[in-house]
Amino acid sequence: MAEFIEGSSRVFKSNDIKDAQEVYSYIDSRMELENPNDWIISLGVDYNEYRNGIQLVVLGFNKKAKNTKPFRVLKRISLDKSSYNDNQLKDLQTRGVELIKELYMDFQLDHIYVDEGHGSMQNEILSKYFYDIGEPFKFKGIDFASMYEYEDMYTNELKRKRKKVMMVNFLQKRFEMKEIAYSEIEESDKGLLTTQLTNYNIKGYDSKDQPIFEGEDHIIDGLMLAVFAIVENYDSLFDKRTGNFIGTIQREIDGNFVKNEFEKKEIKQKAPSHAENFESITGPYSIKKKKKRGGYNFNFI
């Protein structure tokens, strides 16, 4: 798990931010991708009043990424007073709801995770929309202040942290492990993603020794939600305790992050966690897990 060390207030290291920047332009639909079926695509949405606007981040995860970063920001939209129209965005929230629907269709989104902080009415409308089209589980509102429960990987004790802390951990992990890319071209202006990542700090710790963050973070929140949507829904690929991508071992074998793509038809029951050797299915991928000193090795089979 990514841990924040007191005395080091920067959340994202400068070198990690620089390594994530690539020269490419954002796209407008899933069909612009090479081999679009290889991608899991999520949308993270941070709602705000019209001054800060609505931040929408479309994030792709390439299941067959070869010699490149599997996470890629595909599109980002700031719907705010400087980008929309001349009537001071009196219909900002309405336009935001419609834009989410449009992005869902354009990118054939697998998951949409949105901030509950400023979005009660918007989320009610969208929940009904996705229910009516038969996709109620693709849409989810996230309360940043709620608790995230996870099992400690060393003691097996059930622990709880603020959900935002865990989401920051998961996003930080993507940068530390060189697993994420975003557009240097699209994010070069002041105040955009690079600026927010650079200025995102820890200002202190609360009574439970959990970090308190500071800095403008509306775009970061959208990106965090998009990452969290993928981590939370694919436990065959990600360890929900740490956010670690357990498929990276496959990259060392043949350059692919994920070897098999939804090919398994049969479902095998997962063996007890204390077993020395077992196979498990936690979704569409088969994982062979072998106990070794100090932890486990994961291999996709």
Q: What is the pLDDT of residues 102-125, one digit of tens each?
A: 999 999 999 999 998 776 889 999
Which residues have a Cβ under 8 Å from the Cβ of 147 and sit 6 or more positions away?
A: 160, 161, 162, 163
pLDDT in tens, 39-85: 999 999 999 877 778 999 999 999 988 778 999 999 999 987 666 55
Q: What Cα–Cα distance (Å) separates residue 242 from each residue in 8, 258, 277?
A: 20, 19, 22
CATH T-level fold of 14-247: Nucleotidyltransferase; domain 5 (3.30.420)
Terminal Cα distance for the chain, rounded: 25
Asked if pLDDT for residue 197 goes beyond 70, the answer is yes
pLDDT at residue number 301:
35
Q: Which residue has the higher pLDDT, 151 or 263?
A: 151
Q: CATH 3.30.420.240 in the chain, residues?
A: 14-247
Query: Do the Cβ atoms of 235 and 243 come closer than 8 Å?
Result: no
Mean pLDDT on 133-138:
96
